[in-house]
């Protein structure tokens, strides 16, 4: 990674202690600088009208305006529509990750955040800023989303034992079961 460029970061999280921890962990890094912080998505949108960070760290669950709604508004062109957004959440569920990607977030970190993974995510976000990388990364995210949707579209099956073998029976045509 190019370490000559300082990555300017804004964070929105409703937990002041978490924001302080992130700032403290970033203070020792010469390539990353915290430039703004907000308690919710609405405050972040107001900040983004006045500052231009390179990356936004955005908690998904916050009062007033959550991170998903803030992301949708950013992506709609209200402010900094192409800024990389990294989701922060205490929930590691796949559904939460998919909702974040659908809203327009570029990466996903679960709390507590591993410092190495955190730095890697910020550097990936910086790479998003390079125009030659945007198309490939957006295509990769879209492919991941489509693959997940295909997996979800697969109808569930019942496993039925018939003598000494097992069969997968699609549940789509089953209206009643009798044993």
Q: Residue 109: which pLDDT band, with cuts at 50, 70 and 90?
A: confident
Q: Residue 1: which pLDDT band, with cuts at 50, 70 and 90?
A: very low
The 10s digit of each residue's pLDDT in 26-41 is 788 788 888 999 999 9
The 10s digit of each residue's pLDDT in 111-144 is 877 777 777 888 777 776 555 555 665 666 666 6
The 10s digit of each residue's pLDDT in 59-102 is 999 999 999 999 999 988 877 778 889 888 877 677 888 888 88
DSSP string, 60-80: SS-SSS-HHHHHHHHHTTSS-
């Amino acid at each position: 990674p190019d370490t000559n460029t300082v990555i300017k970061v804004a964070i929105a999280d409703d937990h002041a202690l978490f924001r302080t921890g992130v700032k403290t962990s970033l203070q020792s890094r010469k390539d990353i600088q915290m430039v703004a912080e907000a308690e919710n998505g609405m405050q972040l949108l107001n900040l983004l009208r006045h500052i231009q960070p390179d990356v936004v760290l955005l908690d998904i669950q916050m009062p007033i305006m959550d991170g998903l709604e803030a992301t949708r508004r950013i992506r709609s062109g209200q402010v900094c529509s192409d800024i990389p957004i990294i989701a922060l959440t205490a929930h590691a569920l796949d559904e939460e990750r998919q909702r974040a990607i659908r809203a327009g977030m570029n990466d996903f970190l679960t709390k507590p955040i591993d410092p190495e993974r955190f730095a890697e995510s910020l550097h990936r976000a910086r790479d998003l800023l390079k125009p030659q990388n945007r198309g490939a990364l957006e295509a990769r995210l879209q492919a991941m989303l489509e693959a997940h949707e295909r997996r979800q579209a697969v109808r569930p099956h019942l496993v039925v034992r018939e003598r000494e073998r097992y069969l997968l029976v699609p549940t789509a045509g089953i209206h009643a079961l009798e044993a």
